[in-house]
Amino acid sequence: MFRTKRYIYALLILVVAALIFAACATPEVIEKEVIVTVEVEKEVEVEKEVVVTEIVEVEAEAPPVGRCAPMDAADVEVIKIGVPLPMSAPGAVGGGLAMQYAVNIAVDQLNADGGVLGKPVQPVFYDTASLPERGTAAMEYFITQECVVAVVGEYHSSAGVAEKEVAHKYHIPTVFAETWNDTITGAGYAEVFRIAPASSMVAAADVNYISNLEGIEFVVIVTENTDYGLPAADQTAEALATIGIETEIYSADKGVADYSAIITRIQAGPVPDIVMTLTTGEDSYNFENQAIEAGLMPTADTICIANQVAIQPAFWDAVPGGNYCSFRKVGLVPALANEVTQTFEAEYRKRFDIFPESYALEAYDAMMIMANAIENAGSLDPDAIITALEATDITLAQGRYYFPYGSDNPVPDDEPDWMWHQWPDPAVLFIQYFEEGQSATDAAVIFPEVYQTHDTFLIPFGETP
């Protein structure tokens, strides 16, 4: 026992010493930071000899130690852009890998066309696994180790909310591709842009479509309880309530393969006019297939709105009875699909042989938007890039991108906070199959009215247009 006690005493002394050391060490480092600030000041003075007001600004916004992004393209061999993505559990590995491939396609195209500012672009990937802690690590890594000039990507909001803080701290322009959480742009950071359609926008579009249909009184929404599904379902239900439509929401954990209990429960209640699927990926296939086999949808009484992954040919393997299901597609109409979309799709199919998911399109577009902004900025200076991003006006795979609200045009009071640096109007289409095994390009466009291919908002069950 005696010996043990001596160990404890020794450790205790060490701890106390450590505490003292820690107490002493912290201020020293802060002192160092101050010195660095002074250095920055000097540099600026040399560069911009006359403008005194700017020096004051720099002093106030001196970036923290560690930021090593080049300010001038002439200083570097390659322009590095950080890409945080989920590539291991508990993140959505599928989303991450698809987005990685999409970013690589964008970079290959950029470099084939001579790069940005005459320099090749190089993406730096980092696995964030959907975790906030990994998100912070990713951004610190990009900014202080790889000296990236900008960041694009991310799939999960949970990682995104942490990433935006670091982007703000180091003043690094960032375009989020597929993070839905309102707070990401809602924080109003100068550096943070988002092209993922906020869930309430898509909900508004869904409701807009449903309002065109006749005799709809009761809608059942089956959603996944993730940061995508729950807000989307709530917002859709809210918006439907404003036009007097009743809703019932069923939320399921991801990976629940068997939905039969819930399908039985829906069938025991009043017959829904619409069953809407907000689960994604394999979960949506499982629910749709089981609901169709049980005769819940689509029927003469119940309209089937499948999840957007129904656009894939795999839909017909997984949901053989899915004829007359409609689904939402964010992006351009097939008829109006531009060259960008087609070239990208062709490249993408080389790897996965499926229609690119919306997150793949977003990842591609995010990289292209950032490259375009850097090119327009004419330098790697973050302020110039942000100004260029705010002035974005470019048509890419998902449509025409622009950011209406920014530093020149603050978000008005009647718009939600998250409209800051947010792409406001993703084109939302509704497409409906009317033949078994039909390809998505042959299917009918039923919404919006201007693009309708068969002059109807809904092909009734069992009829051929």
Partner 1 sequence: MDYITGQFLVNLLMNGILIGLIYGLMALGLTLIFSVLGIVSFAHGEFYMIGGYVVYYLLQAFGNLEPMIAILIAGAVTFVIGVIFELLFLQPMGKGDIERPGEYAILLTFGLAFFLQHVMIGIVGPFPTKVDRFYDFAEIDWGWLRMKAATVWFFDMPISSSRLIATGVAVVLTALMIWFMSKTWTGRGLQAVSQDRQAASVVGINPSHMNTLAFGLGTMLAGMSGAALVTVFAWVPWVGMPASSKSFIIIVLGGMGSMPGALLGGLVLGIVESFGAGLYPDPSKALAYKDAFGLLVFALVLLVKPTGFFGRKL
Partner 2 sequence: MKRIPIQGVLLVLLLIFAFAFPRIMQGQPYWLYVALQSFFWAMMAASWALLAGYAGQFSFAHIAFMGIASYTSGILGRDLGWSPISGIILGTLMAGLVGVLVGYLCLRLRRTYLALFTIAFSEIVRLIINAEHEFTGGPMGLYMEPLLETTSYVPTYYIMLVALIVSLAIMYAIANSRLGLFLRSIREDEEAAAAMGVHVVRYKILAFVITSMIAGIAGALDHHIIGFIAPNELMIPRMSLVIAMAVIGGTESLISASLGAIFIHFAMEWLQKIPVPASWMPSLRENTATLQQFGLSLGEGYLQTNAWRMVLFGLMLMLTLRFWRNGLIQPLLEKIGRQGVAEETVAKRKFSQEENEIEGTEA
Residue 301: count of CB within 10 angstroms of its CB: 11
Q: Which of 69, 73, 100, 308 binds partner 2 (CB under 8 A)?
A: 100
* Residue from 307, 294, 303 nearest 254 by CA: 307
**Which span sits near partner 2 by CB under 8 A: 86-94, 186-194, 235-243, 267-275?**
86-94
Q: Are 382 and 69 in contact (CB under 8 A)?
A: yes
Least separation in angstroms between residue 434's CB and partner 2 is 35
Q: Does 249 bind partner 2 (CB under 8 A)?
A: no
Distance of CA 376 to the CA centre of its chain: 24
456 torsion bin: left (phi>0), alpha (psi -120 to 50), beta (else):
beta
Residues 383, 406: Cα–Cα separation, whole Å: 13
Question: Token pair for residue 33?
Answer: 């930071």
Q: Are 324 and 296 in contact (CB under 8 A)?
A: no
Q: Collapsing DSSP states into helix, strand and coil, what is residue 190? A: coil
Sheet (strand 174-176) strand order: 121-127, 79-85, 150-153, 174-176, 192-194
Distance of CA 203 to the CA centre of its chain: 16
Torsion of CA 145, 151, 155, 156, to 10 degrees: 70
* Residue from 227, 170, 246, 239 nearest 201 by CA: 239
- Which of the listed partners (partner 1, partner 2, none) does 312 bind, with a CB threshold of 5 to 8 Å by partner kind? partner 1
Q: x/- binding map, residues 171-190, to partner 2, per CB under 8 A? A: ----------x---------
Q: Does 406 bind partner 2 (CB under 8 A)?
A: no
Nearer to partner 2, 99 or 303 (CB): 99
- Residues 6 or more apart whose Cβ sits within 8 Å of residue 422: 185, 193, 194, 198, 403, 405
- Residues 6 or more apart whose Cβ sits within 8 Å of residue 442: 435
Nearer to partner 2, 103 or 373 (CB): 103
Q: Which of 154, 206, 227, 365 binds partner 2 (CB under 8 A)?
A: 227
Q: x/- binding map, residues 134-173, to partner 2, per CB under 8 A? A: --xx--xx-xxx-----------xx--xx--x---x----
Least separation in angstroms between residue 100's CB and partner 2 is 7
Q: What residues numbered 9-28 form the site for partner 2, per CB under 8 A? A: 11-12, 14-15, 18-19, 21-22, 25-26, 28
**Which span sits near partner 2 by CB under 8 A: 117-125, 279-287, 293-301, 328-336?**
117-125
- Which of the listed partners (partner 2, partner 1, none) does 317 bind, with a CB threshold of 5 to 8 Å by partner kind? partner 1
Least separation in angstroms between residue 137's CB and partner 2 is 6
| Residues of this chain that bind partner 1 (CB under 8 A) | 88-89, 93-95, 97-98, 225, 248-253, 255-262, 264-265, 267-269, 281-283, 285-286, 289-290, 292-295, 309, 312, 314, 317-318, 320-321, 351-352, 354
Q: Does 6 bind partner 2 (CB under 8 A)?
A: yes
Q: What residues numbered 343-402 form the site for partner 2, per CB under 8 A? A: 350-351
Please report, for residues 132, 205, 224, the alpha-carbon distance to residue 236 in angstroms, rounded to integers and kept in the order given. 27, 9, 14
- Which of the listed partners (partner 2, partner 1, none) does 133 bind, with a CB threshold of 5 to 8 Å by partner kind? partner 2
Least separation in angstroms between residue 441's CB and partner 2 is 25
Least separation in angstroms between residue 356's CB and partner 1 is 11
Report the amino acid identity of residue 452.
Q
Nearer to partner 1, 309 or 411 (CB): 309
- HEC string for 149-162: CEEEECCCHHHHHH
Residue 142 has phi, psi (to 5 degrees) of: -55, -50
Q: Are 254 and 282 in contact (CB under 8 A)?
A: no
Nearer to partner 2, 229 or 331 (CB): 229
Nearer to partner 2, 108 or 425 (CB): 108
Residues 84, 66: Cα–Cα separation, whole Å: 19
Nearer to partner 2, 153 or 322 (CB): 153
Q: Does 131 bind partner 2 (CB under 8 A)?
A: yes
Give yes or no for a cis peptide into 270 (omega within 30° of 0): no
- Can you spell out the DSSP letters for 8-65? HHHHHHHHHHHHHHHHHHHHHHHHHHHHHHHHHHHHHHHHSSS-HHHHHHHHHTPPPT
Q: x/- binding map, residues 51-80, to partner 2, per CB under 8 A? A: -------------xxx----------xx--
Least separation in angstroms between residue 315's CB and partner 1 is 10
Nearer to partner 2, 377 or 380 (CB): 380
Q: Does 257 bind partner 2 (CB under 8 A)?
A: no
Q: Which of 62, 104, 323, 401 binds partner 2 (CB under 8 A)?
A: 104
Q: Which of 106, 110, 117, 125 binds partner 2 (CB under 8 A)?
A: 125
